[in-house]
Chains A and B, each alone.
Chain A
Amino acid sequence: MTLFDLRLQDIHNQLRNKELSVTDLVGEAFAKIGERDERIGAFLTLNEESARAEAARMDDKLVNGEALGLLFGLPVGVKDNMITEGLRTTCASHFLSNYDPIYDGTVISKLKQAESILIGKLNMDEFAMGGSNENSSFHPVRNPWDLNRVPGGSSGGSAAAVAAGEAYFALGSDTGGSIRQPASYCGVVGLKPTYGLVSRYGLVAFASSLDQIGPLTKNVEDAAYVLQAIAGYDPKDSTSAQVDIPNYASALTGDVTGLRIAVPKEYLEGVDPQIKASVMEALRLLESLGAVWEEVSLPHTEYAVAAYYLLASSEASSNLSRFDGIRYGVRADHAGSLIDLYHESRSQGFGPEVKRRIMLGTYALSSGYYDAYYLKAQKVRTLIKRDFDQTFEKYDVIVGPTTPTTAFALGSQVDDPLTMYLNDILTIPVSLAGMPALTVPCGFADGLPIGLQFIGKAFDESTILRLAHAFEANSDHHKRRPSL
């Protein structure tokens, strides 16, 4: 067993008992990155010098027996759309390739307050747009289980870094499934919290009504532990929720007796037969632990992808209008007029997927089309949310697969945006409804990980963590590691 196989709580205890030093721990992370990341491509920027200096300071603190933060000494990698003061933040876009932030996003401040150590910024699809991490302006990320396959997107770097043992845990962001889909493809745990539970201040906005930051970890307990550190009301984010934050770890009791699980039949149609078989096996396991499950229908599921792409693209076209080459970002040379400068900087700065979504969103919001596309999609969103609300009147958790297939080959879908969008068909409905959802490994198909998705009521992360933890404690899929 290596350090990377230990639970975060165990590592924390070893540090506290001086069986391990923060310097060794951080050294181990950079050693793994040095050995593996050339093949994986998970990191865009390393924070090595500061991380090592920080580790030395923390070791002094251990000697002095001072009080320790919740994530004391634990090395973390963060998706490169979260603003980090003094550390280059690019969103994997040429447009921001020189961007040096002047402040920390709230999650970064919270990680620092909990005394976690930021080891670097992780690769992603440009501005978080994509399902394969091939839309990074710099280089794609490769799936640690098969280097010819995608890690999923857009938090592909975050998922791959954890799966490859380069980061002890990572943060990603999920708009339509961008934490859960890559976590599923890479065989790690990924949690999209309820919209509003984690502050978005300092997250470069893609689709503001959908974006949510969450953890990617090797097990459910670690996810609960990290969520504890990053959740909470933030006056700097006007969409931040004012709710009490429970103790998530204490919810992991192992007891799931009587929990009522709904399994949407729509989530089992059209998925790979091996994935369906793994999900059914998982349900039998949950049943043996005392939970009960029934098949239900979420009738508007098939409309979610269409509604999502209109809404997310509309919000993206609006959010990305701030990139003009004037105040920050890369400015085009030789522009003749101010309007040319906008056009040239944006045309040179954005990659193809970002342009495609800006075009789609601008069209959907333009005069004469707003009602037909944007407004219609927002009404369909209401119907999708109602499906969930009605189901949660009778059930505690919704369970199903996270993705319809396992990780696909690099380059195989890159020219076909619609097919790529359909990979997210099982994660998008939850995003539209704002509910929390968690994916855990539940099996393998031809050597590639399969993810099991647990969807909960708004702000009821505790219940999905409890059920997923009970599943994990009685299975060993999450313990398998890729050979690298």
Chain B
Amino acid sequence: MSIETKDVEHVAKLARLNLTDEERDLFTEQLNAILQYAEKLNELDTDGVEPTTHVLRLSNVMREDVVLDSLTQEQVFRNAPEEEDGQFKVPAVLE
């Protein structure tokens, strides 16, 4: 499998990244090299092998539903780039 420029552009869009022409060309080349290296995994027969999603054998972790203090509005907005009237401000979404 090899990645072409248009694939890199598509992936960048999915990842919400704008790439410069230079980055697009560089990533096309580098991702191809990395994925070509990853082809190595196909040397192994993994039929019937369970995937390891997690090294600890944990099932769902539950706790009692207890009411705790939540963050104050001041804390929530402490790092907000733009805030107005107790809301995060973003560019207009509707026309």
A100 lies within 8 A of B78 (CB): yes
**In the complex, what's the smallest C-beta–C-beta distance from A242 to chain B, in angstroms?**
9
State whether A379 and B11 are in contact (beta carbons under 8 Å apart), knowing that A306-B40, A355-B23 are contacts in the complex: no
**In the complex, what's the smallest C-beta–C-beta distance from B85 to chain A, in angstroms?**
16
Candidate in B17, B31, B55 with the most chain A CB atoms within 10 angstroms: B55
A377 lies within 8 A of B41 (CB): yes
Question: Is A30 located at the chain interface by the 8 A CB criterion?
Answer: no
A301-345 at interface with B (beta carbon < 8 Å): 302-303, 305-307, 309-310, 317, 321, 324-331, 335-344
A434 lies within 8 A of B55 (CB): yes
Question: Is B82 located at the chain interface by the 8 A CB criterion?
Answer: yes
State whether A382 and B50 are in contact (beta carbons under 8 Å apart), knowing that A238-B61, A326-B81, A418-B34 are contacts in the complex: yes
Question: Is A196 located at the chain interface by the 8 A CB criterion?
Answer: yes
Question: Is A246 located at the chain interface by the 8 A CB criterion?
Answer: no
Question: Is A411 located at the chain interface by the 8 A CB criterion?
Answer: no
A307 lies within 8 A of B41 (CB): yes
**In the complex, what's the smallest C-beta–C-beta distance from A135 to chain B, in angstroms?**
14
A360 lies within 8 A of B44 (CB): no
Question: Is B6 located at the chain interface by the 8 A CB criterion?
Answer: no
State whether A379 and B46 are in contact (beta carbons under 8 Å apart), knowing that A195-B56, A359-B12, A359-B27 are contacts in the complex: yes
Question: Is A414 located at the chain interface by the 8 A CB criterion?
Answer: no
Question: Is A373 located at the chain interface by the 8 A CB criterion?
Answer: yes
State whether A328 and B79 are in contact (beta carbons under 8 Å apart), knowing that A309-B38, A340-B91 are contacts in the complex: yes
> What are the residues of chain A within 8 A of B7 when measuring CB–CB?
363
> What are the residues of chain A within 8 A of B12 when measuring CB–CB?
359
A418 lies within 8 A of B37 (CB): yes
Question: Is A480 located at the chain interface by the 8 A CB criterion?
Answer: no
- Interface membership of chain B positions 1-41, coded 1 if the CB is closer than 8 angstroms to chain A and 0 otherwise: 10100011001101111110001000100110111011011
> What are the residues of chain A within 8 A of B67 when measuring CB–CB?
none
> What are the residues of chain B within 8 A of A317 when measuring CB–CB?
15
> What are the residues of chain B within 8 A of A321 when measuring CB–CB?
16
> What are the residues of chain B within 8 A of A99 when measuring CB–CB?
79
> What are the residues of chain A within 8 A of B80 when measuring CB–CB?
326-328
The residue in chain B whose Cβ has the minimal distance to the Cβ of A379 is B46
**In the complex, what's the smallest C-beta–C-beta distance from B73 to chain A, in angstroms?**
12
Question: Is A235 located at the chain interface by the 8 A CB criterion?
Answer: yes
Once the chains are docked, how many angstroms separate the CA of A94 from the CA of B16? 17
Question: Is A413 located at the chain interface by the 8 A CB criterion?
Answer: no
Question: Is A290 located at the chain interface by the 8 A CB criterion?
Answer: no
**In the complex, what's the smallest C-beta–C-beta distance from A134 to chain B, in angstroms?**
16
Candidate in B33, B51, B71, B88 with the most chain A CB atoms within 10 angstroms: B51
Question: Is A98 located at the chain interface by the 8 A CB criterion?
Answer: yes
The residue in chain B whose Cβ has the minimal distance to the Cβ of A299 is B44
> What are the residues of chain A within 8 A of B53 when measuring CB–CB?
209, 378
Once the chains are docked, how many angstroms separate the CA of A321 from the CA of B79? 18
> What are the residues of chain B within 8 A of A350 when measuring CB–CB?
17
A209 lies within 8 A of B55 (CB): yes
The residue in chain A whose Cβ has the minimal distance to the Cβ of B1 is A372
State whether A383 and B38 are in contact (beta carbons under 8 Å apart), knowing that A239-B54, A341-B90, A355-B17 are contacts in the complex: no
Question: Is A273 located at the chain interface by the 8 A CB criterion?
Answer: no
State whether A385 and B52 are in contact (beta carbons under 8 Å apart), knowing that A100-B78, A328-B80, A362-B14 are contacts in the complex: yes
> What are the residues of chain A within 8 A of B17 when measuring CB–CB?
343, 346-347, 350, 355, 358-359
A383 lies within 8 A of B81 (CB): no
Question: Is A247 located at the chain interface by the 8 A CB criterion?
Answer: no
A359 lies within 8 A of B11 (CB): yes
> What are the residues of chain B within 8 A of A195 when measuring CB–CB?
55-56
A303 lies within 8 A of B44 (CB): yes
Which residue of the partner chain, among A352, A379, A421, contacts B51 with CB atoms under 8 Å? A379
> What are the residues of chain B within 8 A of A434 when measuring CB–CB?
55-56
A184-241 at interface with B (beta carbon < 8 Å): 195-196, 209, 235, 238-239, 241
**In the complex, what's the smallest C-beta–C-beta distance from B38 to chain A, in angstroms?**
5
**In the complex, what's the smallest C-beta–C-beta distance from B30 to chain A, in angstroms?**
6
**In the complex, what's the smallest C-beta–C-beta distance from A245 to chain B, in angstroms?**
16
Which residue of the partner chain, among B19, B37, B79, B92, contacts A100 with CB atoms under 8 Å? B79
B88 lies within 8 A of A326 (CB): yes
B30 lies within 8 A of A344 (CB): no
The residue in chain B whose Cβ has the minimal distance to the Cβ of A365 is B14
A227-284 at interface with B (beta carbon < 8 Å): 235, 238-239, 241
B71 lies within 8 A of A347 (CB): no
B31 lies within 8 A of A196 (CB): no
Which residue of the partner chain, among B30, B41, B55, contacts A433 with CB atoms under 8 Å? B55
A385 lies within 8 A of B46 (CB): no
> What are the residues of chain A within 8 A of B82 when measuring CB–CB?
331
A363 lies within 8 A of B38 (CB): no
Since A326-B80, A360-B34, A418-B37 are in contact, a sample of 12 more A-B pairs with Cβ atoms closer than 8 Å, ordered by chain A residue number, is A102-B79, A310-B38, A324-B16, A329-B81, A337-B93, A338-B90, A342-B16, A346-B16, A358-B15, A378-B52, A385-B52, A432-B52
Q: Can you list 11 A-B contacts with CB-CB less than 8 angstroms, sorted by A residue number?
A: A329-B81, A335-B91, A338-B90, A343-B16, A346-B16, A358-B17, A359-B31, A363-B3, A379-B46, A385-B52, A458-B55
Which 4 A-B residue pairs are closest in the complex by CB-CB distance? Answer: A434-B55, A378-B51, A328-B79, A331-B81
